[in-house]
Amino acid sequence: MKLSFLGGAGEVTGSCTLVETGDARFLVDCGMFQGGHEAWEKNQRALDFDLRHLDFVLLTHAHIDHSGLLPRLSALGYKGPIHVTATTAELLEVMLLDSAHLQEKEAEWRSRHRDARRRHTVDPLYNVNQARACLEQLRTVAYETEFSPHPGFSCVFHDAGHILGSAIVDVRLRTAAGMRRLVFSGDLGQAANGLLPAPRRIDSADVLLVESTYGNRLHKTSENTRAELIAAISGTLANGNVIIPAFAVGRTQSVLYALADLARSGTLPPLRIFIDSPMAEKATLITRRHLELLAPDVRDLDRWMRSNPAELQLRYTHEVEESMALNQIRAGAIIISASGMCDAGRIKHHLRWNLPRSACAVLITGFQAEGTLGRRLVDGARNVRIFNDDIPVRAQLHTIGGLSAHADRDGLLDWLRGFARAPGHTFVVHGEHDTAVDFAEDVKRKLGWTRVEAPERGDARTVA
Ligand SMILES: [Zn+2]
């Protein structure tokens, strides 16, 4: 059996693994590369392999860095099934259509800004119609329900606790050497994150792919996170705004419930929260329709929010005009907006208006990839460029690690301790190069596992 690491190896975006056995070829995830100037080129070349004999696709979760090239896969000729959990399918409908819009806009922009002598236009990675066609290929399966995507294969999705619908993909298949079990962790949630249940533990695998986004870091404890949120927010709202860049799906909801918790306990005064991202609004509504998938505390919190609208005023801004009107607010607003890494979307406007003001605060709540505006802010830039303007950074910058939807190093190691014995092969993926390598070393040292490595994009391995 051969595994090809097509993306999300030695990096955190573009997750895609091709598995070829004697009987079938399948993909786990088909993610988009994000951040930096090379992302466009990498996405263009990403699916440059023979798609004709691809039998099925398994998806861990709806985040674009895991799902964003599915419409392109479909547009390039793959017409087979894409297996997902039911909530992932709901989220994909929102996310892939939004992504297609962005692709169309980016292609249009690139066509306009091309050298005028080269008149040909730039095609989008995929368009809205192609995204719609791809959605038709989704096949939904409930957690803990065995299904067979191909003769001789049996799969189960386990709750990964990362975002709504996220799954650990567990594949059993027959090879010439006997039955084999492949486990793909996907992105793993942190047990104490609060929003979702802890990732399901797995006890065995012949081949394991484990993520390592925060493989060399520890998150702050939830008490620390609370204290930081209180410090960042309570001192700011009297004279300034609090701007929170957040992924529309997952992080926005964790932030919302963390704030609601502080408002409910009376630790923070009544809050005025704007969710300024159409996709975040849709994702929040989907989340609130699926309270049964959330941690029990969060269900109570949601009930409290519904019955105490004065304690937590929540507004969704749909139209561009409403979003722009937020720029007139000088103080007292908490604005949660996308993109989470600050390099696209409405958040750029809010940063442009609020970064130069020392009375305001920016709360970074998620991972910031190299090459993104968010990363420059975290790295302490005193000036940043937004929409071709130099913007001085005078706002207070807070990094709140504890809200991450990813397990930290100890969380990952703890999940790995659920294995009764070391998997035959462990591949550490979905981490920047140094992080993945460090984490692979940690796994060897702390768990005594020997066959552990951190492959790079483009690597392939044959395993028995
Ligand atoms: Zn994710």
3-state secondary structure of 139: strand
Contact 408, 214 (CB under 8 A): yes
Q: Confidence class of residue 225 from pLDDT cuts 50, 70 and 90?
A: confident
Neighbour-count burial of 387, counting CB atoms closer than 10 A to its CB (0-12 exposed, 13-18 middle, 19+ buried): exposed
Contacts of 33 by beta carbon, 8 Å cutoff, 6+ apart: 7, 11, 13, 14, 39, 42, 43, 46, 65
Q: Write the pLDDT tens digit of every residue in 18-49.
A: 999 988 999 999 999 987 678 888 999 999 88
The answer to whether 70 touches 134, Cβ cutoff 8 Å, is yes
Q: Are 285 and 90 in contact (CB under 8 A)?
A: no
Q: How confident is the model over 337-343, as a mean pLDDT?
A: 90
CATH fold for the domain made of 222-403: Rossmann fold (3.40.50)
Q: Is the pLDDT of residue 116 over 80?
A: no
Give the distance (Å) from ligand 1 centre to CA of residue 343: 17
Q: At residue 115, does pLDDT exceed 60?
A: no
Q: How far is the CA of 182 from the centre of ligand 1 (A)?
A: 20
CA of residue 119 to ligand 1 center, whole Å: 38
Q: Which CATH number among 3.40.50.2000, 3.40.630.10, 3.60.15.10, 3.40.50.300 corresponds to the domain 2-217+405-462?
A: 3.60.15.10
Q: Of 397-411, 418-432, 441-455, which range is least confident?
A: 397-411
Mean pLDDT of 290-315: 94
CA of 247 to the centre of ligand 1 (A): 10
Query: What is this structure's pTM?
Result: 0.90
- Ion ligand 1 — residues with CB < 5 Å: 63, 187
In angstroms, the first-to-last Cα distance of the chain is 6
Nearest residue to 86 (alpha-carbon basis) of 186, 171, 164? 164
Compute, in angstroms, the gap from residue 42 CA to the centroid of ligand 1: 19
CB 427 within 8 A of CB 209: yes
CA distance 99 to 92: 10
Every domain range in the chain assigned CATH 3.60.15.10: 2-217+405-462
Cα 347 to its chain centre, rounded Å, is 17
The tokens for 285 are: 């509504």
HSE-CB for 42 with a 13 A CA cutoff: 22
Query: pLDDT at position 223, please?
Result: 86
113 alpha carbon to ligand 1 midpoint, in Å?
32
**SS3 at position 335:** strand
Cα of 397 from ligand 1 centre, angstroms: 24
Q: Using alpha carbons, list the distances in angstroms from residue 42 to 32, 102, 153, 457.
A: 9, 17, 31, 11
Tokens at 393, concatenated:
């950074």
- Give 313 Cα–ligand 1 centroid separation in angstroms: 28
For the chain, percent of residues with pLDDT exceeding 90: 80
Q: How many CB atoms are closer than 10 A to CB 47? A: 21
Least trusted range by pLDDT, from 46-50, 263-267, 405-409: 46-50
Q: Where in the chain is the domain with CATH 3.40.50.10890?
A: 222-403
219 C-alpha to center of ligand 1: Å? 17
Rounded to the nearest integer, the mean pLDDT of the chain is: 93
